[in-house]
Amino acid sequence: MVPESLKGRAMAVAMVGTPLALALGVPAGTFLGTLVGWRSVFGIMSLLALMLVIWVVWKLPDYPGEAADKRLSLQKVFVIPGVRPILFVVLAWVLAHNILYTYIAPYLAQAGLTQRVDLVLLIFGITALVGIWVIGVLIDRKLRPLVLISLTAFALASVALGISSSQPVVIYLVVAVWGLTFGGAATLLQTAVADAAGESADVAQSMLVTAWNLAIGGGGLLGGILIETLGVGSFPWALSILLILALLVAWRAREHGFPSKLKSR
């Protein structure tokens, strides 16, 4: 729907809904649940979803998809240069995020912040919005540096969290960095895979979504295992390892995936 030169910025605008939902949805759902009961909240959600479907059918243009005779198989798209490094970065980055995000309450409990979960999530949501705005301004010119800076900052913040995990001020600062660096992750990664896959972007995007959802489930699974075996104090170090691996892969993908020189659009 937008010119190639504005593709990254348009992706940022589209993805702004995610941190807004994270920042506003939880408190709104909690408030409504207390006010009218959780069953009514699910009814409201269903009604809103139905309204959204109707709006999409009514308002969004129906662009033709890729012709069947020109569509590459999943295997061929998977081996397109750049696609595999991006999918690995998606898996590692989102896995790190979801380990902490899924178990944020027990992690904060060990720092004596049990009553501050709402504040921490609010900080994350606000900084994620700022992160998306920054990404939206710069992504069409600086995609590779933004990915490397985001991963590096998140990894360093995780190390800081491991060293001073019981200090509330450190936790608040780390959460702010976490939000800033992860808020635009979906925009960066979806734009990168669309650039790498070219005409097969639709299939590559479906792979990215699959990797993203695997990482969401994997974050809950791995986080649960870490809690049971090593305790929540192991979270920062697990995050650091995953983020460093993602950073190394992104750094090496300078020709394809996260190229040093952007393709002409």
Share of the chain above pLDDT 90, in %: 44
Q: How confident is the model at residue 136 (pLDDT cuts 50, 70, 90)?
A: confident
Q: Which residue has the higher pLDDT, 18 or 262?
A: 18
Share of the chain above pLDDT 70, in %: 93
DSSP string, 165-228: TT-HHHHHHHHHHHHHHHTTHHHHHHHHHHHHHGGGHHHHHHHHHHHHHHHHHHHHHHHHHHHH
Stated pTM of the model: 0.83
Q: What is the pLDDT of residue 264?
A: 47
For the chain, the average pLDDT equals: 87
Q: What is the pLDDT of residue 46?
A: 94
Range of lowest pLDDT (4-18, 44-58, 162-176): 4-18
Q: How confident is the model at residue 23 (pLDDT cuts 50, 70, 90)?
A: low
* Mean pLDDT (whole number) for 54-81: 80
Question: pLDDT at residue 65 above 80?
Answer: no
Q: Which residue has the higher pLDDT, 69 or 59?
A: 59
Q: How far apart are the C-alpha atoms of 261 and 247, rounded to whole Å? A: 18
Q: What is the pLDDT of residue 262?
A: 60
* Mean pLDDT (whole number) for 1-29: 74
Q: Which residue has the higher pLDDT, 90 or 62?
A: 90
Q: How confident is the model at residue 50 (pLDDT cuts 50, 70, 90)?
A: very high
Question: pLDDT at residue 151 above 70?
Answer: yes
Taking the CA atoms of 52, 58, 63 and 68 in sequence, report the sign of the dihedral they define. Answer: positive
Q: How far apart are the C-alpha atoms of 74 and 80, rounded to whole Å? A: 10
**3 state DSSP class of 111:** coil
